């Protein structure tokens, strides 16, 4: 069974640009959550999608957005990139929405903003 | 607010020794506590988890204990091996998002 797949693995962008990251969850999983990982802030929750609907959102500015498609694949977009957006972006998939079930992470997308 | 404290931040052990990482959470309603291992350049890998209806769970060399009264849970790795070297994160399932600890960098010295 394939794991969570994130593409691309690495990205280098310039300040002011926008970027789109993709996440394909484990087959059969319908919940996708996104996290930002930085050395200073650790793992921070961005948002969660289930059945194409955003269920919850973390404390990030509106430049961070996402969506989920009918096949459960999810994308997140960051507009007007800032240097501080440089981070590892991780997505996690879960079968349903219950928080007491296992969540599996992808390898992440390493975004560098220059 | 919701918070998970994790200690120590770094831990060095000799190969074959045991390692213990401790976490404290704040939300009394929490009922699920996973542990993740993250190797360099990779995403977090779920290694073990525990639900609030049990006090201990074991999987080969790895065990997790939970003390709901004290709001503590701990990861125990026995007979450590060089491949156990990684960063370990505890998490509290929270209401709608995982609250992660700050991570423990474990180094197993050969």
What is the pLDDT, as a whole number, of residue A17? Answer: 98
Instruction: Assess contact for B64 and B57: CB atoms under 8 A.
Output: yes
- Nearest CB neighbour to B31, from listed A45, A100, A108: A100
3-state secondary structure of B64: strand
Here the tokens at position B2 are 């919701």
Give yes or no for residue B109 having a pLDDT over 90: yes
B2-55 residue pLDDT tens: 789 999 999 999 999 999 999 999 988 889 999 999 999 999 999 999 998 889
A45-98 residue pLDDT tens: 999 999 999 999 999 999 999 999 999 999 999 999 999 999 999 999 999 888
**How confident is residue B1, by pLDDT bands cut at 50, 70 and 90?**
low
What is the pLDDT, as a whole number, of residue B29? Answer: 85
CA angle A35, A31, A37 (to 5 degrees): 10
Work out the minimum CA distance from A26 to partner chain B, whole angstroms: 14
CB contact under 8 A, A106 and B43: yes
Give yes or no for residue A1 having a pLDDT over 80: no
* pLDDT top residue among B62 and B54: B62
Largest CA distance in chain A: 39
Which residue of chain A comes nearest to B39, CA vs CA? Answer: A107
The distance from CA B78 to its chain's CA centroid, rounded to whole angstroms, is 13
Which residue of chain A comes nearest to B40, CA vs CA? Answer: A107
Q: Indicate which of A24, A101, A103 best probes the interface with B, i.e. most B CBs within 10 Å of its own CB.
A: A103
Q: Indicate which of B96, B99, B102, B103 best probes the interface with A, i.e. most A CBs within 10 Å of its own CB.
A: B96
What is the pLDDT, as a whole number, of residue A97? Answer: 83
Element (H, E) at B58: strand B56-59
Closest CA to A11 of A67, A76, A58: A76
B65-94 residue pLDDT tens: 999 999 999 999 999 999 999 999 999 988
% of residues, chain B, pLDDT over 90: 85
CB contact under 8 A, A102 and B96: no
Average pLDDT, chain A: 95
CB contact under 8 A, B34 and A108: no
**B10: contact with A, CB 8 A cutoff:** no
CB pairs under 8 A between A and B: 53
């Amino acid at each position: 069974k394939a794991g969570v797949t994130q593409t691309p693995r690495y990205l280098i962008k310039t300040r002011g640009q926008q970027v789109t990251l993709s996440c394909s969850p484990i087959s059969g999983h319908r919940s996708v959550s996104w996290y930002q990982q930085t050395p200073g802030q650790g793992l921070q929750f961005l948002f969660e999608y289930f059945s194409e609907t955003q269920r919850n959102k973390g404390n990030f500015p509106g430049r961070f957005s996402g969506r989920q498609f009918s096949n459960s694949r999810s994308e997140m977009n960051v507009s007007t990139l800032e240097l501080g957006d440089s981070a590892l972006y991780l997505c996690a998939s879960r079968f349903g929405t219950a928080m007491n079930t296992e969540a599996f992470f992808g390898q992440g997308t390493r975004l560098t903003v220059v | 607010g919701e918070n998970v404290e994790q200690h120590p931040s770094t831990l060095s052990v000799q190969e074959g020794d045991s390692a213990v990482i401790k976490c404290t959470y704040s939300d009394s309603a929490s009922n699920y506590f996973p542990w993740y291992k993250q190797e360099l350049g990779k995403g977090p890998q779920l290694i073990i988890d525990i639900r609030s209806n049990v006090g201990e769970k074991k999987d080969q060399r790895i065990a997790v204990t939970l003390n709901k009264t004290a709001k503590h849970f701990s990861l125990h790795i026995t007979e450590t091996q060089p491949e156990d070297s990684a960063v370990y994160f505890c998490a509290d399932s929270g209401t709608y998002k995982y609250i992660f600890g700050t991570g423990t960098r474990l180094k197993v010295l050969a």
